[in-house]
């Protein structure tokens, strides 16, 4: 039997009913790659929960000092300043940690060398929006409705802490501790097809 003379008579493999362990035809593998079934591995830099906790705790201490100073300057009361700082510590410690864990799953702005400056700026602005509203509410309540004073505290905090948080993130971006590489499957790009 000349197999080259009559290819149509040869038994054909059915890719759907392929026996376990049997090799796939080259054409089927090419088609699978074209549809993303064969995956390449991409390395993503992630952070451990302990690193996120230490970052959150370090920032809360730094932010607490700034809030204490601005609150005392605009209220003239150590008791009121301490109350506002206490509120910030209670309400923002957990949310800061949660925010760090959420950002850990965002791939944008990450690289092997660390976070990009654009990513640090985005994190600073996103956190500041939440934190400013939180401080404004606390200061209004704790100063017994003095919205003008509360606005000054929240406003000064926003300016100073946005700048501080950006540089805080830039420092942590070069700290290798608590970072690890994780491989995730990434579909191969489909080959370009030329129009006839």
pLDDT tens-digit series, residues 121-179? 999 999 889 889 989 999 999 998 898 999 999 999 999 999 999 999 999 989 999 98
pLDDT digits (tens, 9 = 90+) for 52-92: 999 999 999 999 999 999 999 999 999 999 999 999 888 88
Beta-sheet pairing, 179-187 with 114-115: unpaired
- Reported as a pLDDT band with limits 50, 70 and 90, residue 25 is low
Answering whether pTM is above 0.85, one says: no
- Pick from 50, 49, 58, 43: nearest CA to 169: 58
Q: What is the DSSP string of 140-186?
A: HHHTTS-HHHHHHHHHHHHHHHHHHHHHHHHHHHT--TTEEEEEEEE
């Amino acid at each position: 039997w000349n197999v080259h003379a009559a290819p149509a008579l040869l038994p054909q493999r059915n890719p759907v009913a392929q026996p376990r362990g049997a090799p796939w035809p080259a054409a089927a593998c090419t088609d699978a790659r074209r549809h993303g079934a064969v995956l390449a591995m991409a390395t993503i830099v992630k952070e451990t929960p302990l690193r996120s906790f230490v970052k959150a705790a370090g920032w809360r201490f730094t932010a607490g000092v700034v809030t204490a100073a601005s609150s005392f300057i605009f209220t003239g009361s150590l008791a009121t300043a301490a109350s506002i700082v206490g509120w910030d510590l209670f309400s923002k410690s957990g949310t800061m940690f949660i925010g760090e864990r959420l950002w850990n799953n965002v791939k944008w702005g990450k690289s092997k060398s660390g976070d990009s400056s654009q990513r640090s700026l985005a994190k600073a602005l996103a956190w500041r929006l939440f934190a400013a509203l939180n401080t404004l509410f606390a200061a209004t309540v704790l100063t017994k409705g003095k919205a003008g004073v509360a606005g000054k505290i929240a406003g000064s905090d926003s300016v100073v802490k946005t700048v501080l948080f950006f540089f805080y993130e830039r420092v942590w971006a070069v700290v290798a501790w608590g970072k690890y590489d994780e491989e995730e499957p990434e579909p191969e790009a489909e080959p370009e097809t030329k129009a006839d």
